[in-house]
Structures are given as C-alpha cells and as structure tokens.
C-alpha cells in the first residue's frame, strides 16, 4: 500500500476542510493511505476513515530551524512516505519541504491562487468571479501525484437524530462578524419557538453567550463546556447551524449539518464556502461593490462603516430557516 504524508497546521477551519477531501480521495483510491500531520488539538477531526491516520504535533517541541529539521527527520524515519503533500504553503512548510527534497522526496504543493485572490479583493475591481474552491485546490495536490479524485460536494449527515439550532455568532476578525445586537435579536426571535445552542471560544465570548443564555428561553451556551469531539457530536445532531464565515461552518460540513453562513467583508468567491454547503444558504449584502475587500476578514473597512455587516437583515436568516 502506498503512503502519502500530508500536512497543514492551521487555521482550524482550513484544516477541517481537508478532511472530506481526504476521505473521498481514499474511498476512490483503495490502495493508498494518508498520514496527516497537524496540531495535536485537531486530532478529533481525523476519525472519518480507517486509512486516514493522524500524527499530532506540538510546536513547543519543535522550535526554530533545528526543531523543524528534527520534526521532518522524525517523519521520514517513522513513515518513509511514497508521496509528500504540502497543503499549507507557508514559511514553516516551505522549510519542511526543502528538507524532504534534500532527502530525495518529491513534494507536491498546493496552489493557493494568491494573485487571483489579491485581484478579487481589490475594491476597485468590479468584475468579481468565482475562484477555484479551496477543497478542489487540496484535491489538485493529489491529482498532480497522478491519482484521480472526483469530489461530490455533498454533505454526509453523521446523525439520524436532528434537533435544535446551533448559533456561532463570533469570528476571529471583525470583518467577518455580524454586530452583536443583530445576533442577539436573531437569537431572541429564534428562542421563542426553537431550542438554541450557542457555540463560541474565548473567555470574553463565553461570558457574552452565558449572559444571552440567562436572558433567553430555550437557550443554552455550550461555549467552553465541551471537548472538540463532544462539540462535533452536538453539531452532527443539529437541524441547522448558523455561523459566520468561520471554523464552525466547516465543522458543520464535516458532520453533515446544513449551515446558514453569514459573510461580511469576505466572500464565498474566494473559495472557502463549507464543503457541501449551498450557495442559497449564504447571507450577505450583495450590492456592495467593495466586497470582498479581504480574503480572511482581517483588513480594516476602507469605508469605515462596515456596511457589509451593519446592513445585514436578520429576516433573511429567518427566511432561510
């Protein structure tokens, strides 16, 4: 059996997006296995196929150039891969690639389409076009090795029982996050007739969601209370997830749960719509010519008013539900 060593270390949502690609690739290529190298805490994402093995890494153990050299030599000695796939293309993986190449391995690297994404996010470019989806870019790496893979772009529900609505109102960057007053109003309306589960991360987010839980009926904050495995199981059991353009959308995809996704300064044209999710479930302000101004939502609004988020109408979200 041939062995592929693949790696991507961040971000959480991007790593989650690799999993359905790897699963469908392995299903269509039964004589292969993938060893996926990523951060330790992402382990529970990678239990979807018996030939998808996970190798967790803590970079506290592999600091600097010498740490990277140590990690790469360990991977070579442990796995002796037939193929090497860099699904990240950052400075750290370029260093890993160079060591693999010096040891006689050929490395297949993702084409992230940086130039076309830069053009897409130029606010003066009025000719916005759908770029290649990130999951297809992952699959292209395996295709360049000489293997076939035809992605289905279909959700695979992981639970037969579906109840409640998940709501993840936060994102890493301001340009991706609906104003909190709109999010609270949405939760308030939904909680009249539906059980709502809040998902979040950091301490400040947890405090906000706990406050919402105390103010609303039929609302429960799960932020900070679950392991990743437990969170995935809960997402699998939801009727629908509401998420910003964030990792929670990709976790919903991984668990086969439909997601209504809210987009601000970012845009699905950049290729990051959750695997198997439907474009009709995207909520955004369509008639702003400056969108998208950012691939990741980390740029300051050049207008200064974040109209892409302030003008969002929560009735559109309720209508999709």
Task: Summarize pLDDT for 80-89 with one digit per residue, the tens.
Answer: 999 999 999 9
Shared-domain flag, residues 175 and 302: yes
Question: In this predicted structure, what is the pLDDT of residue 210?
Answer: 97
Shared-domain flag, residues 104 and 204: no
Q: Which of 213, 186, 202, 137 is nearest to 315 (CA)?
A: 186
Q: Round to whole Å and give the CA distance between 182 and 275.
A: 26
Q: Which of 87, 67, 65 is nearest to 5 (CA)?
A: 87
Place of tokens 């740490």: 67
Q: Round to whole Å and give the CA distance between 70 and 277.
A: 40
In a domain, 152, yes or no: no
Question: In this predicted structure, what is the pLDDT of residue 288?
Answer: 94
Shared-domain flag, residues 179 and 315: yes
Question: In this predicted structure, what is the pLDDT of residue 2?
Answer: 98
Q: Round to whole Å and give the CA distance between 40 and 9.
A: 9
Question: In this predicted structure, what is the pLDDT of residue 145?
Answer: 98
pLDDT band at 297 (very low <50, low <70, confident <90, very high): very high
pLDDT band at 135 (very low <50, low <70, confident <90, very high): very high
Shared-domain flag, residues 26 and 80: yes
In a domain, 50, yes or no: yes
For range 145-168, the mean pLDDT: 97
Q: Structural domain tally of the chain?
A: 2
Instruction: Say if residues 305 and 314 touch (Cβ distance below 8 Å).
Output: no
pLDDT band at 203 (very low <50, low <70, confident <90, very high): confident
For range 311-319, the mean pLDDT: 97
Question: What is residue 179's three-state secondary structure?
Answer: coil
pLDDT band at 202 (very low <50, low <70, confident <90, very high): confident
Domain that includes residue 33, residue range: 2-144
CATH number at residue 236: 3.40.50.2000
Q: Would you say the C-alpha torsion 171, 274, 250, 312 has a positive or negative sign? A: positive
In a domain, 173, yes or no: yes
In a domain, 84, yes or no: yes
The residue out of 78, 109, 144 marking a domain boundary is: 144
Shared-domain flag, residues 169 and 134: no
Distance of CA 91 to the CA centre of its chain: 20
Shared-domain flag, residues 52 and 86: yes
Question: What is residue 48's three-state secondary structure?
Answer: coil
Distance of CA 203 to the CA centre of its chain: 21
Name the phi and psi angles at 186, rounded to 5: -60, -45
For range 223-232, the mean pLDDT: 96
Least confident of 141-145, 199-203, 217-221, 300-304: 199-203
For range 119-134, the mean pLDDT: 96
Question: In this predicted structure, what is the pLDDT of residue 18?
Answer: 98
- In this prediction the pTM is 0.96
Residue 117 has pLDDT above 90, yes or no: yes
Q: Round to whole Å and give the CA distance between 220 and 211.
A: 10
Shared-domain flag, residues 124 and 187: no
Residue 168 has pLDDT above 90, yes or no: yes
- 160 Cβ contact list (under 8 Å, min separation 6): none
pLDDT single digits (tens) 247-284: 999 999 999 999 999 999 999 999 999 999 999 999 99
Shared-domain flag, residues 178 and 305: yes
Residue 119 has pLDDT above 90, yes or no: yes
Q: Report the chain's mean pLDDT, rounded to a whole number.
A: 97
Question: In this predicted structure, what is the pLDDT of residue 296?
Answer: 95
In a domain, 240, yes or no: yes
Q: Which of 242, 248, 188 is nearest to 218 (CA)?
A: 188
Q: Which of 311, 17, 40, 267 is nearest to 153 (CA)?
A: 17
Question: In this predicted structure, what is the pLDDT of residue 285?
Answer: 97
């Amino acid at each position: 059996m041939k062995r592929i060593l693949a790696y991507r270390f961040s971000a959480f949502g991007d790593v989650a997006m690799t999993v359905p690609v790897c699963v469908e690739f392995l299903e269509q290529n039964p004589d292969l296995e993938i060893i996926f190298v990523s951060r330790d805490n992402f382990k529970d994402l990678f239990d979807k196929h018996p030939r998808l093995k996970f190798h967790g890494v803590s970079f506290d153990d592999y600091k600097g150039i010498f740490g990277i050299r140590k990690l790469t030599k360990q991977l070579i000695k442990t796995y002796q891969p037939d193929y090497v796939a860099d699904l990240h293309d950052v400075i750290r993986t370029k260093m890993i690639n160079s060591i693999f190449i010096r040891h006689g391995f050929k490395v297949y690297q993702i084409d992230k389409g940086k130039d076309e994404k830069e053009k897409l996010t130029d606010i003066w470019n009025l000719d916005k076009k759908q770029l290649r989806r990130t999951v297809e870019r992952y699959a292209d790496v395996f295709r360049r090795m000489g293997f076939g893979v035809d992605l289905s772009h279909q959700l695979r529900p992981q639970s037969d029982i579906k109840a409640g609505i998940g709501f993840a109102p936060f994102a890493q960057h301001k340009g991706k996050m609906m104003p909190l007053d709109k999010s609270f109003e949405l939760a308030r309306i939904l909680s009249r007739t539906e059980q709502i589960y809040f998902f979040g991360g950091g301490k400040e987010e947890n405090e906000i969601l706990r406050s919402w839980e105390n103010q609303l009926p039929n609302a429960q904050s799960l932020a900070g209370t679950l392991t990743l495995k437990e969170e995935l199981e809960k997402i699998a059991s939801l009727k629908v997830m509401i998420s910003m353009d964030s990792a929670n959308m990709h976790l919903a995809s991984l668990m086969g749960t439909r997601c209504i996704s809210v987009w601000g300064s970012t845009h699905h044209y950049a290729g990051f719509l959750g695997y198997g999710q439907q474009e009709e479930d995207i909520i955004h302000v369509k008639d702003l010519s400056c969108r998208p101004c950012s691939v990741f939502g980390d740029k300051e609004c050049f207008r200064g008013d974040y109209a892409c988020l302030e003008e969002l109408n929560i009735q559109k979200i309720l209508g999709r539900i």
